[in-house]
Structure 1
Amino acid sequence: MNNKTDFKTAQQFLVDNPDIEVIEVLLIDLNGVHRGKWIPRHKLQSVFEGDMRIALTGVTPDIWGRDVPSLCAKTGDGDGICVPTVRTLKRLPWLSRPTAQMYMHLTHQGEPWGYDPRVVLGQLQQRFAERGLIAVVAPELEFMLLSSERDAEGIPQVPQTRINGRSKVGGQLYGTDIMHEFADVLHEMREACDSMDLRLDTLVKELAPGQYELNQHHLGDALQAADNAQMLKRVIKGVAQKHGYVATFMPKPFAHVDGNGFHTHISVLDENGKNIFDDGTERGSQALRHAVAGLAATMSDLMLVFAPHRNSYRRFAAGTHTPIAPTWGYENRDVALRIPVGDPQARRIEHRVAGADANPYLVLSAILAGVLYGLDNKLEATEPASGGSHEQCRELAGDWLAATRDFEESTFVSEYLGAPFHEAMCAVKHFEQDEFNRTITPFEYDAYLITS
């Protein structure tokens, strides 16, 4: 058995939850989708004994859940051994059948499998630890609550509200009255998070119709923070479905309103627990500017992580608080890297680039890697921006193919996030892009069928 203490913790969980019938043992693929198996409760011990095997390509399906042929050929489609993380063994309180879940990561020949996003993040954490540093992170996730039925053309619909009627002009930013109209589903989301020990800070009505934001507490364990963000997305989707809604983290469901972002706050502690970004001033330390410079320098290489899908790039539009260049500034929400004002001891960077569709493990990996790159090389930041997004010139990739090229050509990605991940991510994205390129849409028929 790999860890007797962990199994004792799992046994106690079963004692405390005697009605649990099914346990979902789960990997997270590169797209942030859960992949795994249902097992009966009596099989849980076998997972801790190293008897749970899943194909090494179990973390690399495309967005439709298909194998990527080049990766199957590379690995021989052999099995890896799954290693469980017992702190993720949680009851899923919204399900009618008593069910629990637990996250795992893949290993191959006794070593962590580099295609696995949980492994990628764990290795970045280890690099911080080797330098006597701890990354403290707090993700913020935006989502939209939509009707379960689409219209005749397949377009999702925002539920009608008493306060806005059928109007979709605005979403009542910070509006608590409109939140009361959806109180049942929103409160059950919060209660489910409480029961799963997912620490939430605030729930906010966001700018777009049907849009909300849930903020998590700062954690000094990036892998646990990513696990919590992944579980939070599952809670939101599951509770919404129970109440007859669709919760989506799609970055741009509607062309005319703001999309869904995934912002992350990060600070770094030294071995004495001191925030290295704090020098007692509003400006922050030299280490803060090294970190900012590293994040800015690597942002173009990592756009495929922050915006991994075709729809992701529709979110990057002028006037939507979505950055199009690796800018930074103090208390400025139009830049990519915002330095919030306040208590110097809490000095941190808010990374504002990623969409809510991005994989939490890979987003945090990319941010940690950028910070580390800046600190290792003592990079110097440019002058902070003072203007708004209308003054920015596009420097980041504006479409999926350009971002894939930048990612594929990067030496930084292989060096800091690992060559296996670099290879796998490129293969998955090329495979998905080929499918989109082969697909003829109704819009094309409308445009060309008669006019050609």
Structure 2
Amino acid sequence: MQDWLDRHANITALRLAIADLNGQARGKRLPRRFSDKVFSGGTRLPFSTLNVDLLGQDIDDSPLVFDSGDADGLLVPTERGFVPMPWLDTPTAILPMGMFNTDNTAFDGDPRHVLRRVLERYKQQHLTPVSAIEMEFYLIDASGPEPQIPCVPGTTYRHAVADTLSISALDDFDGFLTDLYAACDAMDIPADAAISESGIGQFEINLLHCDDALRTADNAWLFKIAAKGVARRHGFIASFMAKPYPDSAGSGMHSHFSVLDATGKNIFDDGSATGSETLRHALAGCLSAMADSSLIFAPFDNSFERLVPGAHAPTSLCWAYDNRTTALRIPAGPPNARRIEHRVAGADANPYLMLAAILGAALNGIEDQIPPPPATIGNAYDRTAPQIAQTLEQAITDFERSNHIKRLFPAMMIDNFTRTKHQERRILTDLDSQMRRAIYLKAL
């Protein structure tokens, strides 16, 4: 990592950053001349940093705060290394960090470590998940008293209706998108195709697949940081809020994954058009844990405004071939590309916890050889099937009582995440809708 700094002599400021349970970047700004601290183990943060609420406040009843003296953990750079932040005026690099106990063991409250634990289970079986994520977000004009659709740059024109898959809509925001792609290139984020989505000012950018799910989650986390930073340079807010406008489409964070064996073969592919038995076991594992994992996929009250029938987001626990009304979709394509698209998570989800929940549940299904229900035919909104949690309160209850969740996540993470969501529900639901929306737009 020192070599990277040596090659980038223009960098004068560093951000030492770690993802909290909500996926928010927290940490320190450090002048470059003090970078030796990073490599000598001299960087610390309170363990409680990873367990604050969305407003950045301590969790009132958290054992990580006063009961433990608000003790520090060790910050250690992840294998990602330094990543430039080219939208800032000051030449800056962010260094993603992991939280460790003082005995150098992984801190179970770090969401990146939670995902790493799941991947260790795959490694023990000589399996490797290959994953990709689709990032949906809105550009928003927040210059007035109410958030609104942004003007097309250089004009006073605001789109009145959504123009899905429109080249013109992409061209209208070419400056922003060009700078975002440039930032992704500089940050080694594999940003692929962009489309205009079904909301006004809404876009989707696909991040290419990777055979390291930690890197996939890193890419999604860093992409959010980049999109927000580049948007600020252009006078917008980039928001990954699940449902910014009540009458417009929500923003999701769909994930695609397959699994390779030790020879590099996709174990979801048996040469047929329908996929292997292992594919069906993985589907069943995802479905069995899906309701109890709703809090991971929909972590805020606003998240559930997206999960309604007919809104291009799933509501029931079902799967199908090439059907976007279901929670799990098997995309069309050649057999060797057979994969699962998990369509439940909103753009507001923590990508580390999201992938841990999805990949962990799939592996449980593979290990247990669970059979899935029959594939859904036609419009899933018209079918009777078990439902995803419909409120934040229900999601919290299902999460904290679930045996599925206990199998997927360490006890500390379950406890910390549950306490965080209880506090956010108490605080945020007491605010009026305008204030709550403003918080979500800015933070998410």
Please report the TM-score for the alignment, with normalisation by the length of structure 1.
0.92
The letter for the 2-side match of 1:412 is H
Out of 58, 61, 74, the position equivalent to 2:49 is 58
May I ask how many residue pairs the two structures share in their alignment? 430
* Pairwise CA distance, 1:390: 2.7
* Pairwise CA distance, 1:438: 3.5
Greater than 3 Å deviation, 4+ residue runs: 73-76, 160-168, 437-443
The letter for the 1-side match of 2:104 is G
Out of 81, 89, 92, the position equivalent to 1:96 is 89
Please report the TM-score for the alignment, with normalisation by the length of structure 2.
0.94
1:365 aligns with 2:356: yes
Q: Given that residues 324 and 392 in structure 1 are in contact (C-alpha distance below 8 angstroms), is that contact kept between their aligned partners in structure 2?
A: no
Corresponding position of 1:175: 166
1:111 aligns with 2:105: yes
The letter for the 1-side match of 2:88 is L
Corresponding position of 2:370: 379
* Pairwise CA distance, 1:178: 1.6
* Pairwise CA distance, 1:150: 3.5
Out of 275, 298, 311, the position equivalent to 1:320 is 311
String of CA shifts for 1:168-222, please: whole Å, max 9, x gaps: 3x32111011211111111100111111111122111111100000101110100
* Pairwise CA distance, 1:24: 0.3
Out of 137, 144, 164, the position equivalent to 2:131 is 137
The letter for the 2-side match of 1:149 is S
The letter for the 1-side match of 2:399 is F
Out of 2, 25, 37, the position equivalent to 1:34 is 25
In 2, the alpha carbon distance for the partners of 1:408 and 1:41 equals: 43
Task: Call closer, same or farther: CA 1:327–1:74 in 2, change over 3 Å.
Answer: farther
In 2, the alpha carbon distance for the partners of 1:139 and 1:194 equals: 17
In 2, the alpha carbon distance for the partners of 1:387 and 1:396 equals: 19
Corresponding position of 1:402: 394
String of CA shifts for 1:220-241, please: whole Å, max 9, x gaps: 1001110111111111110000
Corresponding position of 2:179: 188
1:237 aligns with 2:228: yes
1:14 aligns with 2:9: no
In 2, the alpha carbon distance for the partners of 1:143 and 1:224 equals: 21
Q: Given that residues 408 and 422 in structure 1 are in contact (C-alpha distance below 8 angstroms), is that contact kept between their aligned partners in structure 2?
A: yes
Give the unaligned 5+ runs of structure 1: 1-9, 444-452
SS of structure 2 residue aligned to 1:69: coil
Q: Given that residues 356 and 408 in structure 2 are in contact (C-alpha distance below 8 angstroms), is that contact kept between their aligned partners in structure 1?
A: no
Corresponding position of 2:69: 76
Corresponding position of 1:125: 119
In 2, the alpha carbon distance for the partners of 1:441 and 1:91 equals: 37
Corresponding position of 1:148: 142
Corresponding position of 1:450: none
Out of 200, 207, 210, the position equivalent to 2:191 is 200
The CA RMSD over aligned residues, in Å, is 1.7
Q: Given that residues 339 and 349 in structure 1 are in contact (C-alpha distance below 8 angstroms), is that contact kept between their aligned partners in structure 2?
A: yes
Out of 399, 403, 406, the position equivalent to 1:411 is 403
SS of structure 1 residue aligned to 2:326: coil
String of CA shifts for 1:93-151, please: whole Å, max 9, x gaps: 11111111011111113210011101101111111101111111000010001113244
Percent identity reads: 38
Task: Call closer, same or farther: CA 1:181–1:440 in 2, change over 3 Å.
Answer: closer
Corresponding position of 2:426: 434
The letter for the 1-side match of 2:86 is P
